[in-house]
Chain A
Amino acid sequence: MVYIIIGTVLIGILAGRFIIPEFFAPALELVVTYALALMIFGVGIDIGRSRNALSSLKKLGWRVLLVPLAVAGGSLIGAASATFVLEMSLKEVLAVGAGLGWYSLSGVLIAQMYSVELGTIAFLSNVFRELLAFILIPILVGCVGKLAAIAPGGATTMDSTLPLIKKVTDPQTALIAFTSGFVLTAFIPFLIPVLLAL
């Protein structure tokens, strides 16, 4: 599955580089948006008919919020440690890490609020995070556990990585992943400006 996913993205990159003309970019964005909506609709049907998962989530209660809290907190601690490796300030690495995989928003927001260079790093870093998430999720399910496999996806676990999480875990974990992704997605537009203001 992992190799197929890497191969699929590589085919896309090569097609974008050599075959698809540049004016096709808005159409690609539309394809991604509607493919995502269609996929999420299918995932929703699967979640909706899984009554056991819904009742389990009710039983989990507030504890489910520990998941996005751990994902955000862990990501920021990890990003902060990058200051020991890179010549970047603490607030710069924190702002990039706070994108949590949402590359379109974090790149534009940071470019506008801080600098185009940091915005580009944020865009690339969160593209990498999403791509790495597609590779790591199936591996982590076997090595670390179903719940920990949610972590690499960050905010993307409410959309693009959700179908993969659902495929390699179970409907209950997929529901926790969606809730975590949703909370993080709502949190990021507030978190990045606060970190840049430090």
Chain B
Amino acid sequence: MWLILLSLVAGIILGAANIIADSWFKHLDKGITITLFVMLVALGAQIGINAELLANLPLLGWRAAVIAVLSIGGSVGALWLVACRWTAYAEREEA
């Protein structure tokens, strides 16, 4: 948690300080994408390496999947409503 926060704050300070040459930002985007895939492979491996988790998947997976899908559906619906109100408010302010 703290490592993540420190990394973000350090990155923001470095970015805001404007000391990195523009040519480096192309490499930065590529670097972020590569790191994302390294993390996804490691995340998958963490699931695959856990024999107990894999054995329990059919037993408890159905319940877990139903709750995950309904939670996502509820949150997308609620945030969509907020986004609609937000847009309407912004349009009223502009008018």
Residues of B within 8 A of A134 (CB): 40
Given known contacts A13-B44, A16-B48, A158-B4, A71 and B11 CB-to-CB distance under 8 angstroms = no
Judged by DSSP, the binding face of A is helix
- Report A88 CB to chain B, min CB distance, Å: 7
Q: Are A40 and B8 in contact (CB under 8 A)?
A: yes
Q: Are A14 and B48 in contact (CB under 8 A)?
A: yes
Q: A49 at the A/B interface (Cβ < 8 Å)?
A: yes
Q: What is the size, in residues, of chain A's interface with B at 8 Å between Cβ atoms?
A: 95
Given known contacts A37-B4, A46-B28, A67-B82, A24 and B49 CB-to-CB distance under 8 angstroms = yes
Q: Are A38 and B35 in contact (CB under 8 A)?
A: yes
Q: Are A41 and B80 in contact (CB under 8 A)?
A: no
User: Contact residues of B with A, CB < 8 Å?
Assistant: 1, 3-4, 7-18, 20, 25, 28-29, 31-33, 35-51, 53-54, 56-57, 60-61, 63-83, 86
What are the 9 closest A-B residue pairs judged by CB atoms, nearest first? A44-B11, A12-B44, A78-B74, A48-B15, A16-B48, A74-B78, A124-B64, A16-B45, A125-B64
